Structure 1
């Protein structure tokens, strides 16, 4: 399904939260971190530590983007008029791999990037194989005909653990999704609390 299962679970345990809301997350069984020292009492985080964790959690949620990628998106969010934190969420949710995940074409955001990279998706009828491709409002994202019966697609559609948000209109009978509008933080169905305001504070100081 995806090569990142171990890394994904490790990130959950490091954060101490089930950040994707997956039923198989190890945090559902134990909330302490990985390794032999994971059960030590947690120290109170400094302001910097709190801001860093907020950044790591948000960055990790979208398939563990590299720092360079995430900082580039943040810089763009700063340049756009309006609240930088809200702009950051909007830019992240406009990524093609994020929309494929939101539309429930695949079970995980890691699988979404791989699914796009392998050429299974079109945008407005044109094959796009770049996960970071930025969709515009009104764009129609579709699973290619030859990919609709893949096991990973059938598994994702059947998942009951998450719903498709209202800013993505999905027709699973045709395996198409329309990106209706750019969401705000309150629109995005994060299983845990995301704090983009702390990410803004982190980059303001670093």
Structure 2
């Protein structure tokens, strides 16, 4: 369902990691970069390069959202009380498309963004088609009635490769999910190591 299928695997190859934990990721077979010189291209990253890679990986994980949008989320996180890196993760996980993905209504973050865009989702009974919509604790996200039997939705629910985290209360018989609480960084089931502290260092240079 995602029009960015090639781009997401390109990110996997660039990072040398299976960013979304998908079975078909090319790095499951080879972790080095593309091309005939891919194996020799590895080099020690500078501090800036390490921070940039951490930022690109986290930004790419959430369906490769735009730099402008990601920076806006960071700026909001930095204005909030508490740890900026924890705030950043909390804000990213409260996005509507992130909740749709975490609830296993769709197979990938890319599909989640398109699923919301196409009007398949309701929040508290009201149609919302903005993937970056910020959900509040207690909000109920629901797949609209006509979309509950879509093949993609039914297959996503049965995916064994990931579980629904405990900060989202899901009822797959009704295709509803309740955003129970804002997660801490340690609560979020990333398939690979994310380093939001390095993202903070990158933007606060």
Task: Name the TM-score, length of structure 1 as normaliser.
Answer: 0.98
CA distance, structure 2, for counterparts of residue 58 and residue 22 of structure 1 = 16
Deviation string 1:95-115 (CA, Å, 9 cap, x unpaired) is: 000000000000000000000
State the distance in 2 between where 1:117 and 1:41 align.
39
Matched, 1:121 2:124: no
**In 2, distance between residues paired with 1:155 and 1:38?**
35
User: Superposition pairs for residues 103-122 of structure 1, below 5 Å?
Assistant: 103-122=103-122
- Residue 53 of structure 1 corresponds to 53
Is the Cα–Cα contact under 8 Å of residues 33 and 41 in structure 2 kept in the other structure? Answer: no
C-alpha displacement of 1:41: 4.1
Alpha-carbon deviations, 1:170-204, whole Å to 9, x = none? Answer: 00000000000000100000000100000000001
Distance 2:62 2:41 in 1: 29
Please list every run of 5 or more consecutive structure 2 residues that lacks an aligned counterpart in the other structure: none
Q: Where does residue 195 of structure 1 map in the other structure? A: 195
Q: Tell me the distance in 2 between the aligned counterparts of 1:107 and 1:181.
A: 23
- Counterpart in the other structure of 2:20: 20
**1:181 match:** 181
Residue number in structure 1 paired with 2:4: 4
Runs (5+) with no aligned partner, structure 1: none
TM-score (norm: length of structure 2): 0.99
**Count of aligned residue pairs for this structure pair:** 205
Stretches of 4+ moved more than 6 A in 1? none
